[in-house]
Chains A and B, each alone.
Chain A
Amino acid sequence: MSLSSAADVVLEYGGRRILDGLDLTIETGDQYAVTGRSGSGKTTLLLVMAGLLPPTRGRATLGVPSREISYVPQTPSLIPELSALDNAALGLRFRGIAPVHAAEQAREALVLLGLGDATDALPSELSGGMQQRVAIARAVVLAPRLLLADEPTGTLDRSAGAQVLAVLRDLATRHETALLVATHDPEIAALFPHQLALADGRVVA
């Protein structure tokens, strides 16, 4: 089943062409690593595939409702006034999950990501890497059909990075969640079945 597809997508932003004739279809269970240098269009590709950024030309189509798609930005995007647990549970709460159950699921995800001791901490009390893991936990607990993560391990050490990848792949296995992960680390990219190499907005490999 096609979750998101792009056909001959061109995207211009600020007078510059970011994506140039992109074609991509993501189906259930797909796992893609998007690589490329800084400015190659990785983040823009993720935004287009998440349905958050309409293309200038071409067609981008979502095959599932937008709330079945989770997007994890490159920089931590936590609500600064809420604890790690509340942040992680927030998506569930918006879906009407009872507070107690939402908190249970969020706590489990945080424990899996090594944040069992930091559930009550505010984002400002966490390191950048810990904040990123909370953001991933928040996305994971939603069990989306498609998860797009922008440099999810960029601010993490090797061990924490491996932990995050393990959680993402477990999610993909258990819920057949499709993954589209942007990374500049070839070692991480090598762990994914599919790899897209971007340069100047074009898929070069």
Chain B
Amino acid sequence: MTGAAYLMAGLRSRRAEWLAAAVAVGIFVAFLASLGSFVAQSRSELTVRAAAAVPLDWQVQLTAGADTAAAEQALRKVPDLVAVRAVDYARVPGLRSTSATGTRTTGAAYVVSLPPDYAAFAPRELRPLLGAATGVLLQQQTAANLAAGPGAAIAVLGGGSAATATVDGVVDLPAADSFFQVVGAPAGAGASAPPDNVLLVPSAVFGRLIGKAAVVHQLHATFRHDRLPADPAAAYDLSAARANHYASAVAGAALVGNDLGAALLGAREDAVYAQLLVLLLGVPGVVLAGVVCGLVVALRRDRQSRELGLLRLRGATPLRSALLVGATAGADGVLGCLLGLAGARLALRVALGSGARLSPGWTVGACVAGVALAIVIELGPVLRLVRRGAPTVQEAVGSAPTTRLPLPLRLGADGILVAVSALVFWLTARSGYSVVVVPEGIPVASVNYAALLAPALAWPGLALLCWRVTAAVLSRVRRPPAADTAGAVRDVRSAVVRQRRRLVARGATGLAVAIAVTVSTAIFTTTYDRQARVDVSLTVGSDVAVTLPPDSRGVTLDPTVARVPGVQAVEAMQHRLAYVGPDLQDLYGINARTVGRAAPLQNAFTPGSTVKAALARLASRPDGALLAQETLHDYQLHEGDLVRLRLQDGQGRYVTIPFHVAGVVTEFATAPRDSFIVANASYIASTTGSSAVETLLVRTTHPAQVGAAIRNRVPAGATVADTQSANATVTSATGLAAGNLAGLAKLTLGFGFLLAVASSVLALVVGSAQRRRTLVVVALLGATPRQRAGFLWTEARAMVLAGLAAGLAVGAVIAAELVKVLTGIFDPAPEHPAVPIGLLAGLIAVVLVGSAVTTGISARVMGRVDPARLREG
């Protein structure tokens, strides 16, 4: 028989078998291709997002005596350069303004020379607030310090009598940290604080204003981002290499502040986290898909052993037999690939949107893997049969399934794996769950793969443990015969299941793993989602937040403006600026007893105590203040210590006010990620004489609608933000946008559901097929359809219930491990995993319904007396 004839004969006579095998291969290919394409796409997105977030790509600082023209000429030769602008600045002793209310003088200030089109060149460096966007511009904080605005005359101290300029506008410098960075600072030196006082002037007047102050010459450059490699690591390498090449080209005449490279370096760390997520959430699913695929393909093994015997009887050599079976498997694989590619396209569209594309490399890889899997699974047992000879029918059907545990369990592999996993987990916990290691001063993000051993070992360990426990429980289930006059034969059915416990336990373990993959992914992503919402909520301040710039004297927010339909609570908060020593920090004045009604609060915000206790301490001490850990450390402060803060009073004068340290705070609504202070609003109001409110925190279940309603009621200058609008743009501390994980979660959960149902259905179909002869025999003995079905239902009940229980338990354990091991991915860190009850209930319902339908159909189909089977023996 030729291969083609064998194939065609098989296709004609076993269509359902072929289709089942092809669908199984298709699921595997679809999962692998879509997961791989997701990885490729998310890496590319990380690069694009990181590059897009950089306000300025390079800040090239010329060294003393350097030839500016030559440096600029060399810079213009760097590939993909878009534009270059010269920016100079000088540090002066201070700025002074004089008005009807008196003269005000600042401390040290920076005067910056900008080209006229700088706002268009780097739009995210300057944000106009008042007056003109070009000309002489005063930074917002400086304007507040000098009580100056457009039209005010500003004198530059140290610049001589002619060093005065008239202010054209007030601007914010959103990226002041990087704008005033110390270019060429050694790695790990830490960021320098941006200056408090800045005057931005046209280059034409710069020289006149600064007098003899030392000038720092810089060239600001932007590059094309669309030509960066998709992989963040490769993009970083390219950017860093170009910076190094330029530095060598100008022979040390310039230092490069590579902001683009720094952003890509961060993205590279994010990419490592994304890779970890795929490893920990996606790979178990792919392995499971492979196992399910193997189960389906192996369903043909029984028939193939008979066909193989026939082929050999007709003189086919073992090689020829293997080639014929291999051709069948290959055809399964090819058909499966076609189905898989369609499935992968669909999955990507559903998970990532219509713009998602399959990655060519991953697609080819998935197809090769699918075909290889089908061939290996189908051919392996056949090769064994060729070597040993096919079993006789009596050997195949007459022997009871063994009750002996498989070798790994007899060797105690489950206990060993779980114990080692627990040990690794404990060691990882001791090191603070540092899975992604970014050593200071070394621009390399590496993965502490040892930490991943905990979940990697827990998976097989817990799966084997499920097998052991299920088998042990089933071996103890004994139902006494009692007075069974209805012919229910429950005792007989339970004896059969007891004897088949190894097979039932195997099926339950497969189902448990499938459910655990889904459960662990669901819990992990729900926890991530919850923390991401907290993160967005923290960034915004609450579900909706109305904010004025800090110390907005003369303007205050009235809480009644936020009382619109749909609002559950409104909290007023002061936002001032206060000096702790020389550091200017944000100060938030709250009502500690009520702030929790609208502000997101978690215990992680107040290390060493619960947030409730910390706020209670603050409330009990009117002059109390919660300070950042860094502030406490830098100023050697402890709880109860006196700390004097300088802040502006109602007239804008700085006054010194005593506070006492009431505790530590790391995060708070609307607060920046660095140092800040939380104190009692009533104390701030009484000591500064200003009860002005700069922030309103609004709790609602409809952030977008409420935000829109409030937007029309707030005074000019106030900003209204809501979590719904911000959700798409705010990223976590690791930079992973919520959308990335959502895409992965959709893929894994979707395929997880599919695999959970497939596992239960397949295990039941395989079990029913194995019991076919038994069912025929009991039919011959006069068993009614109900009595025959009882055999299948008993086994199905045992397997599905054990699989569900074990799957939920294993999924919960793995999820808890993942949440701990990947603590770094969460911001803020979760107090405990979040359990998606609805989703889990849906999963259980789907598995139960799928199992019930399968068992019902199997009972009808398998119980029919098939003369062919009787004739076979």
Contacts and interface: CB of A to CB of B under 8 A. Distances in A.
Given A52-B867, A93-B492, A96-B487, A76 B394 contact: yes
A71 to B, nearest CB: 6
A26 B731 CA distance: 85
A95 interface: yes
A47 B867 contact: yes
A93 B491 CA distance: 11
Interface in B841-873: 865, 867, 870-871, 873
A53 to B, nearest CB: 5
B783 interface: yes
A80 B401 contact: yes
Nearest to B776: A77
A77 B495 contact: no
Interface in B775-799: 776-778, 780-784, 787
Given A90-B489, A93-B492, A66 B782 contact: yes
A94 B499 contact: no
B101 interface: no
Interface stretch (B476-484, B601-609, B680-688, B715-723): B476-484
Contacts of B787: 94
Interface in A93-145: 93-100, 122-124, 128, 131, 138, 142
A73 interface: yes
Contacts of A73: 780, 870, 873
A67 interface: yes
Given A81-B400, A90-B778, A52 B865 contact: yes
Nearest to B773: A77
Given A52-B870, A80-B401, A90-B489, A99 B496 contact: no
Contacts of B782: 66-67, 91, 94-95, 142
Contact of B492 (A76, A80, A82): A82
B401 A93 contact: no
Given A73-B873, A79-B778, A99 B481 contact: yes
Interface string A57-79: 00000000011001101111111
Q: Max chain A CB contacts within 10 Å: which of B393, B400, B495, B774? A: B400
A79 B870 contact: no
Given A52-B867, A74-B873, A138 B781 contact: yes
Contacts of B837: none
B867 A53 contact: yes
Q: Max chain B CB contacts within 10 Å: which of A77, A95, A96, A122? A: A77
Q: Max chain A CB contacts within 10 Å: which of B486, B787, B871? A: B871
A124 B870 CA distance: 20
A97 B784 CA distance: 15
Interface in B230-271: none
B636 interface: no
B780 A93 contact: no
Contacts of A86: 492, 495
A35 interface: no
Contact of B496 (A82, A123, A142): A82
Nearest to A75: B873
Interface string B386-400: 000000011001111
Contact of A81 (B500, B783, B867): B500
B485 interface: yes
A95 B783 CA distance: 8
A33 B787 CA distance: 33
Nearest to A79: B774
A71 B773 CA distance: 14
A153 interface: no
Given A94-B489, A128-B394, A128-B398, 8 more contacts: A43-B870, A67-B782, A78-B398, A82-B495, A94-B782, A98-B485, A123-B400, A124-B399
Interface of A: 13, 43-44, 47, 52-53, 66-67, 70-71, 73-82, 86, 90-91, 93-100, 122-124, 128, 131, 138, 142
30 contacts: A13-B867, A47-B867, A52-B780, A52-B865, A70-B780, A74-B873, A75-B393, A75-B394, A75-B873, A77-B776, A78-B398, A79-B496, A79-B774, A80-B401, A80-B774, A81-B400, A82-B492, A82-B499, A90-B492, A91-B781, A93-B492, A94-B487, A94-B778, A94-B782, A95-B487, A98-B483, A99-B483, A123-B398, A124-B398, A142-B781
